[in-house]
Amino acid sequence: DTLVMNLCGALANLAHKNDANRARIWKTGIVDTLLQQASRDVQSVNLSRAVQNRNLMIAALLMNLSAGASFRAKMMKIGVQNLLIKIVSSGDNKEMVRYALGALRNLSLEPSVQVELVEAGLLDACIHVYTTYSEKDVYQDGTSAHQHGAAILRGLS
């Protein structure tokens, strides 16, 4: 799991603000494989630190991939929204929730998938964010879960 965590971290870095790298990563098929692993883990209660860190980096990768408009519909097609909404709705790891919110924010900007996001439970996830976190819950980058939730709602409008 440590190796996969480092691989996901490297891929997340490569995907940051780089559509060519996003395309290369997408073509490998690794996103679907990682999504399956993380989706199984979300159902588990007692995850090792290594698995938690791996899943954190998977969420970071999904956020950076979803920043590319041409990947949003593809990501929805393999079901990333279900994992991301589950993380936001029940996640204990604040940074993982931040990455999941970032990915959902990016996905919400794509008009062709907005209805599907809402049907998957995105609005309930945003309500959960507002009831679970306060404005004082600030991430390392200075943003808050409330700001990410607001950005998602703006993206849907």
- Residue positions counted in the chain: 157
Angle formed at CA 71 by CA 66 and CA 75, multiple of 5 degrees: 75
**With the CA atoms of 142, 50, 41 and 103 taken in that order, what torsion angle do they form, in degrees rounded to the nearest 10?**
30
CB-CB contact of 135 with 146 (8 Å): yes
Question: Tokens for 126?
Answer: 């945003």
Residue 92 has pLDDT above 80, yes or no: no
Query: What local confidence, expressed as pLDDT, does residue 1 receive?
Result: 80
pLDDT digits (tens, 9 = 90+) for 10-58: 999 999 999 999 999 999 999 999 999 898 887 777 888 888 889 899 9
Please answer whether residues 81 and 122 qualify as being in contact, where contact means their C-beta atoms are separated by less than 8 angstroms.
yes
pLDDT of residue 93: 85
Residue pair 33/86 in contact (Cβ under 8 Å)? The answer is no
Ranking 53-62, 87-96, 148-157 by mean pLDDT, the lowest is: 87-96
The pTM assigned to this predicted structure is: 0.94
List the one residue out of 97, 103, 87, 89 whose CA is nearest residue 138.
Answer: 97
pLDDT at residue 41 in the model: 83
State the pLDDT at residue 143: 94
> What does the block give as tokens for 156?
């849907």
**Contact criterion met (CB below 8 Å) for 14 and 26:** no
CB 153 within 8 A of CB 126: yes
